[in-house]
Chains A and B, each alone.
Chain A
């Protein structure tokens, strides 16, 4: 165990950046969702890393956060994909730049 905390954090940052780039650059709504998941996972990694490097790892708080985060991510994905499918059914497309009904 010689890898310093910063390495994990850099890895999380890169993962977050990749997810963000995908969410910002791809057209397909499903891919944007995958990007979001990647960003969420980056955050999870941060939690685990900080837990592991914390002075009191027996508190398990980081792990708990991640568990809840995963649960919420599952819910989010379920609802998000259902929305994508519903919109697709309605508009016959899953391309995000075409979804602008809520514009002001």
Chain B
């Protein structure tokens, strides 16, 4: 039982190896690259299942190792195996496996097919590493790797300027959140001296009271900043809809099912650290995001963009569940959402793939008969997302969240926001399904659509099955999931379903959903049947609100007008500072140095060189003059000696007297 932890690192390593080997393969080795990635994720899935089976019986196991030392402190990393990570690993590897297979069909004609699988494998490795990390530092490293993979995959069709811009935007916006995360991590390290989650009672999650209330709330909120960035919560949600510029399997895998859920997973992982105040903030942010994004989704026309806003909204629900209800509530919705949102995205991908990259729902229509399998699975996903009662997983998970907020002692408003969000969700999903699958084909592209190949439809069917089944693991009557995560006995008790708390709530949400579906279906069902679809019926009725929603509450414009322009202005100012002030300063120094050098040169030339030259010239000329005495005529020398001798003699004889 212990041994599985020792081999836990194999789960992320297998896809990492596949990514590394895949990167080295030549571009034309398409099948080999894809096969490697799929095989690796299959191995990861099997290992995850094994780990999952282990956790059914034993509790939390962790294995740490020392990474490096500096001074007297050492940085430790490690792996942890607990129900939270195990169920997440199973979910991620399984959804990844399905989506890898689906990508075989979806990306079949793409030139960079091998590279795509390489990136996907890198992403899977990072994501799985993040899940089993037992150190906030390792978590953060994988977190950033996941961001990198996301950047690469959003910008996969980098030839499109919009895709490149979206990749950049995603990277930069999530960095803002990550900055908070990093600061929070450093603060945590400063307070506790360790970044390990669990370390035999010494990890930062083992200790109950980490620091003072203010300090730990600050830490919690800072770490939550990272989650806000990654999970697209208000106000950092703007990158997620733009990320739909990437290939659809990427949208399904990264920007719906797994990566964006990493923020939620982060909060779940560090849940013991979160103070009640921080959880309050989490709840509020989640609730606001849920309604905010859902209302925007009502007025969008791009099939993937609607799903993207839906994802933002559902992530808000998860946050709300975490804040109000606890780990199990949030994680349960994360699980169910992963399945049905992956299903929806893959269904959308199937539609887009077969309608020649048409993404505008007004241009589609009548696909119900042309793509029966896609339609059926999409409908299952839609009903799961809307929360259609009893048979669809979304109903149970969303109900748990609503139940939690209903009992939340902070404020009743999140509960009502949640209800409003549920209503809006049902409304926009019905609108979308009416536009796309019912009525008549609006264009020739939709007219000539056909069903996707089995490699794409089989994953759809599997996911659709799961979208239904997954819900039954967390019903109030049989709360296996909650017990699995939090420990406790599982018992089947139908009476819990019928008590006075649950039943009215369920009936209320069911009524809301039914009303939304009927209303929306009535409006758009008729609209979809009309041959021209230029104007949305809602736009006719409420033009102001619709335009506001269609423009996403002008958040992007607001950011452009404030943050981006401020940054640009600051950059311009910095540029000016750099160019004029610092540049001028440097130029002044340069000029000063030049003058100094010029002076030095003048001094050197005039004084040193000149005097030296004069000296040597004098010596040389005097030497030349003296050398004329030495004319080689021996007799002349002798004459001079004779004259000198006479002089000497005369001096000696008469000079001394």
Contact = CB atoms under 8 A, between A and B. Distances in A.
Contacts of A20: 638, 642
Contacts of B632: 99-103
B535 interface: no
A99 B636 CA distance: 12
Contacts of A104: 626-631
Size band of the interface chain A makes with B = 10 to 19
A1 interface: no
B635 to A, nearest CB: 5
B544 interface: no
B635 A32 contact: yes
A17 B634 CA distance: 18
B630 A102 contact: yes
Contacts of A103: 627, 630-633
A100 B629 CA distance: 12
B639 interface: yes
A96 interface: yes
Interface string B614-635: 0000000000001111111111
Contacts of A96: 633-635
A24 interface: yes
A97 B633 contact: yes
A23 interface: yes
Contact of A24 (B626, B628, B631, B639): B639
Contact of A97 (B627, B629, B635): B635
A77 B628 CA distance: 30
Interface in A58-103: 96-97, 99-103
Nearest to B635: A24
A104 B635 CA distance: 16
B111 to A, nearest CB: 88
Interface in A22-69: 23-24, 32
Contacts of B635: 23-24, 32, 96-97
Nearest to A101: B632
B630 A24 contact: no
A63 B593 CA distance: 83
A20 B630 CA distance: 20
A101 B633 CA distance: 9
B629 A24 contact: no
Output the residue of B629, B631, B634, B638 with the most chain A CB within 10 A. B634
Interface in B473-524: none
Interface string B633-653: 111001100100000000000
Contact of B638 (A24, A99, A101): A24
A50 B639 CA distance: 28
Nearest to A97: B633
B620 to A, nearest CB: 13
Contacts of B642: 20, 24
B272 to A, nearest CB: 103
A24 B639 CA distance: 7
Interface string A1-29: 00000000000000000001001100000
A20 B639 CA distance: 9
Contacts of A23: 635, 638
A23 B634 CA distance: 10
A99 B639 CA distance: 16
A93 to B, nearest CB: 14
A32 B638 CA distance: 11
Nearest to B632: A100
A44 B638 CA distance: 20
Q: Which 6 A-B pairs have the closest CB atoms?
A: A104-B627, A100-B632, A103-B632, A104-B630, A103-B631, A102-B632
14 contacts: A20-B642, A23-B635, A24-B635, A24-B638, A99-B634, A100-B631, A103-B627, A103-B630, A103-B631, A103-B632, A103-B633, A104-B628, A104-B630, A104-B631
